[in-house]
Amino acid sequence: MSPEATGIAPEEAPSQTTPAQPTHPGGSREMTYLEAISDALREEMRRDEAVFCIGEDIGAFGGAFKVTDGFAEEFGAARVLDAPLAENAIIGAAVGAAVEGMRPVCEMQFSDFIACGFDQLVNVAAKLHYRQGLAAPMVVRLPSGGGFSGGPFHSQNPEAWLLQAPGLKVVAPGSPADAKGLLTAAIRDANPVCFLEHKGLYRYLREPVPEGEYVVELGKAQMIREGDELTVIAYGSAVGLATQAVDELEADATVLDLRSLAPLDTEAVLEAARRTGKVLVAHEATRTCGVGAEIAAIVSELAFEHLDAPVRRLTAPNLPIPFSPPLEQAVLPQLADMKEACRELLDY
């Protein structure tokens, strides 16, 4: 299928393409998930003057979660734009700038508020290439997820909304290194990219992250653990839960981190499913019409003969996220839930 048919713009000049393998000049330092995102954004703003940030309180205040702390001092107010409380205007301004050759990075203080900018994102940015042959190189950063008692208006995982819009790319890193590499790739991509960064991972995850330029290809899953009896397919916050569960159970299991939801690495999903015959799909987002449902359908359609058990999903129920910490933990998938789901499939 041609790029025009999918609404996805083709790769640009070689200087803007994403390499097939992660690349970096060598050396690393320990960073949190939040620091890795900030580092990628700073590196790209230094590398390319067309990159700029726009969002609410991202200038002098440094952003709601301090991702852009110090950016205004280094890059100036012209490239770190404090916007009014109007997500539709933020996304709309970014679309216009992207069409004119800039590379805006929009920050939604919370992913929930992308609903206020949905028209500009879904009906304008996502359709520009299909309708007019125009590239729209822009990133929308979406701090998503629960686990911190943010309640129903600050804890959603909106990926299922976004996956319904042809022309959008959607990524959801589950580690600091991937957060840096995928954000770099997203900024350099010719298409609008929705970058889901889980708030619960911001200061919780810490690991060595390559310094300098580091790019991870969009659309490629990563095998975190390799085993032969069970495959756990996860992304975002569920990756850590899956890895810990498999390790504590000492299970002969594969953990596949999707990293990219659109485009989806269907080949990696099917290879793992066919090899182990048992598949658990795990994510924090609600169950209805989610990524897990899509993967379950793909595996059931294209790898049915290889399955030794029904595809199982571990997700949040289709409920608002409660403010109460005990109720929130009861709604969101926990480590005990992941271990139980793995055990049940292994014993099937």
State the pLDDT at residue 8.
86
Mean pLDDT throughout 230-241? Answer: 98
State the pLDDT at residue 166.
96
In a domain, 14, yes or no: no
In a domain, 20, yes or no: no
pLDDT reading at 1 higher than 60: no
State the pLDDT at residue 109.
95
In a domain, 3, yes or no: no
In a domain, 2, yes or no: no
Mean pLDDT throughout 188-194? Answer: 98
In a domain, 13, yes or no: no
Q: What is the 3-state secondary structure (H, E, C) of the chain?
A: CCHHHHCCCCCCCHHHCCCCCCECCCCEEEEEHHHHHHHHHHHHHHHCCCEEEEECCCCCCCCCCCCCCCHHHHHCCCCEEECCCCHHHHHHHHHHHHHCCCEEEEECCCHHHHHHHHHHHHHHHHHHHHHHCCCCCCEEEEEECCCCCCCCCCCCCCHHHHHCCCCCEEECCCCHHHHHHHHHHHHHCCCCEEEEEEHHHCCCCEEEEECCCCECCCCCCEEEECCCCEEEEECCHHHHHHHHHHHHHCCCEEEEECCEEECCCHHHHHHHHHHHCCEEEEEEEECCCCHHHHHHHHHHHHCHHHCCCCCEEEEECCCCCCCCHHHHHHHCCCHHHHHHHHHHHHCC
One domain for residues 227 and 198: no
- Domain hosting 91: range is 30-210
State the pLDDT at residue 4.
56
Q: Which CATH number do you get for residue 48? A: 3.40.50.970
One domain for residues 205 and 249: no
One domain for residues 56 and 193: yes
Q: Which of 175, 210, 245 is the last residue of a domain?
A: 210
Q: What is the pLDDT of residues 104-120, one digit of tens each?
A: 999 999 999 999 999 99
pLDDT reading at 18 higher than 50: no
In a domain, 18, yes or no: no
Q: Which of 181, 210, 239 is the last residue of a domain?
A: 210
One domain for residues 171 and 260: no
Report the domain count for the chain. 2
Q: What is the pLDDT of residues 68-91, one digit of tens each?
A: 999 999 999 999 999 999 999 999
Q: What is the pLDDT of residues 324-345, one digit of tens each?
A: 999 999 999 999 999 999 999 9
State the pLDDT at residue 52.
98
In a domain, 16, yes or no: no
Residues annotated as part of the active site = 154
State pTM to two decimals.
0.93
State the pLDDT at residue 25.
55
Q: What is the pLDDT of residues 196-215, one digit of tens each?
A: 999 999 999 999 999 999 99
Mean pLDDT throughout 178-192? Answer: 98
Q: Which of 174, 189, 210 is the last residue of a domain?
A: 210
In a domain, 340, yes or no: yes
One domain for residues 85 and 153: yes
Q: Which residues contact 198 (CB under 8 A, 6 or more apart)?
A: 33, 143, 144, 145, 172, 174, 236, 237, 284
State the pLDDT at residue 11.
62
One domain for residues 181 and 243: no
One domain for residues 201 and 106: yes
In the structure, what pLDDT confidence band is assigned to residue 5 with cuts at 50, 70 and 90? low
Residue 309: how many CA atoms within 13 Å on its side-chain side?
20
